[in-house]
């Protein structure tokens, strides 16, 4: 998963606009692939996450999460009154690389 996201970031200038990701999205995906499924509140309170988003608004954070969801890079679920986020490894089964 990290290799695919790294590829998306490194080829963002060649990607069509819907597939372009930024350094923050790469950082978030790196964080959640290290821990797999994590409560969203725990992710957002981590120092690593805060360093990615300390100079941006909540709207930018929400836009990044919407982008990750639209690209099917993450899954968000609810359980025990908590919201969880996890990488969507299923996307790796149907990758589309530019050739």
CATH assignment at residue 63:
1.10.10.10
Q: What's the Cα-to-Cα distance from 94 to each of 30, 59, 64, 67, 73, rounded to whole Å? A: 20, 30, 22, 18, 12
pLDDT of residue 98 exceeding 60, the answer is: no
| 81 is a domain residue | yes
Residue 60's domain comprises: 2-94
| 99 is a domain residue | no
| 47 is a domain residue | yes
pTM: 0.85
| 73 is a domain residue | yes
Q: Considering only CA atoms, which of 91, 87, 93 is closest in space to residue 19?
A: 91
Q: For 26-67, what is each residue's pLDDT tens digit?
A: 999 999 998 878 999 999 999 999 999 999 999 999 999 999
Question: What does the alpha-carbon distance between residue 49 and residue 28 come to, in Å, rounded to a whole number?
Answer: 7
E strand or H helix that includes residue 79 = strand 74-79
Q: Considering only CA atoms, which of 71, 65, 66, 64 is closest in space to residue 88?
A: 71
Average pLDDT, the chain: 90
Domain total of the chain = 1
């Amino acid at each position: 998963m990290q290799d695919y996201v790294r590829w998306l970031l490194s080829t963002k200038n060649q990607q069509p606009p819907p597939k372009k990701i930024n350094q923050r999205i790469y950082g978030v995906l790196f964080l959640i692939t290290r821990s797999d499924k994590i409560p969203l509140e725990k992710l957002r309170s981590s120092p690593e996450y805060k360093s990615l988003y300390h100079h941006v608004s909540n709207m930018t954070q929400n836009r990044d999460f919407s982008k990750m969801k639209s690209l099917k890079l993450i899954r968000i679920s609810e359980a025990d009154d908590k919201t969880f986020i996890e990488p969507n490894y299923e996307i790796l089964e149907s990758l589309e690389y530019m050739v």
